[in-house]
Amino acid sequence: MPRASGPLAEALALARRTVLLDGGLSNQLADQGCDLSGGLWTGRVLAERPDQVARAHAAYAAAGAEVLITASYQIGSAAAGELLARSVRLAAGVAEAAGHEVWVAASVGPYGAVLADGSEYRGRYGLSVRELAAFHRPRVEALLAAGPDVLALETIPDAAEAEALLGILAETGAPAWLSYTVAGGRTRAGQPLAEAFALAAAAPQVIAVGVNCCDPGDVLPALEAAAGVTGTPLLAYPNDGSVWEAATRTWHAPGHPAPWPTEAWQDAGARLIGGCCRIGPAHIAALSARTHRRPGP
């Protein structure tokens, strides 16, 4: 079947149901025995073992994911156009072979991700909005040329970086979602969430706003802040509450992970729900059972 019968924005606006995102690509690749060492992280597997990336996408599609996010998060070189295009082709191939409708979201990770030093959890890189736009523009153009259904502007820690990316969207007209990584009611760079989300309110290309790669407990307040300043559908794909330590490249897991209040997220306006780091296919399958038996408000 075709990977999707229409734009994702239409599915969110018309069906008024929850669309299920996939989970963490890195943890699934690690579970498949892949080597993620080095600065490219999942990008290393994309370059060296693309079959494993396709296998990981297929695991999430089999679990019920309706959106597959590409392995382009940490690919930052302007000369890596072919690698970025490959990430879209791999996800598209799996989407087309799935037994249900699947959209492909091209991951545009933050500038800090390519530094491989945890900067995506801090923001405030010391770069201007113009400099950040110059960094992101070639990546976005290469991804769009490969034909994804939507761009995933994800794990954005800083409103200044969001401003740069929204400027590029205005140039291209491409549909995208904007997802901040947050902590304690603010962006990782410390800006109030209402101000950060308000940047997207006047951007017609943005089909959804929300948060990812954050503690599940930070999701609902962030969704409520987004709902107060935008009229777009919301999205949430947190991690399992673990904290990333860049120096040792390890996750520190919470002692007692709390259940996800997905019904509250849906009530707040979430139309896209999934998982980020350390959330695997089994969790996505469980989310599918929970979210699909309850329509959005």
pLDDT in tens, 244-253: 566 666 666 6
Is 235:271 a contact under the CB 8 Å cutoff?
yes
Dist. CA 165–CA 129, nearest whole Å: 9
Cβ 293 vs Cβ 262: under 8 Å: no
pLDDT at residue 248, as a whole number:
64
Handedness of CA 91, 232, 236, 196 (dihedral sign): positive
Residue 29, both tokens:
């690749």
Buried b (16+ CB within 10 A) or exposed e, 106-115: bbbbbbbbbe
Q: How far apart are CA 278 and CA 269, in angstroms?
A: 24
Task: Give pLDDT, residue 1.
Answer: 45
Q: Which residue has the tokens 């599609």?
A: 61
Give the residue-averaged pLDDT of 49-70: 97
Q: What DSSP string describes 52-93?
A: HHHHHHHHHHHTT-SEEE-S-TT---TT-HHHHHHHHHHHHH
* pTM attached to this predicted model: 0.93
| Strand bridging mode 182-183 / 176-180 | unpaired
Give the model confidence (pLDDT) of 94-122 as tens digits: 999 999 999 999 999 999 998 888 888 89
What is the tens place of the pLDDT at every residue in 187-246? 999 999 999 999 999 899 999 999 999 999 999 999 999 999 999 999 999 998 667 566
Nearest Cα to Cα of residue 247 among 126, 121, 74: 121
Q: Is residue 55 a contact partner of residue 115, using CB atoms and an 8 Å limit?
A: no
Q: Render pLDDT for 11-56 as a digit per residue (tens, 0 to 9).
A: 998 757 899 999 999 999 999 999 988 778 889 999 999 999 999 9
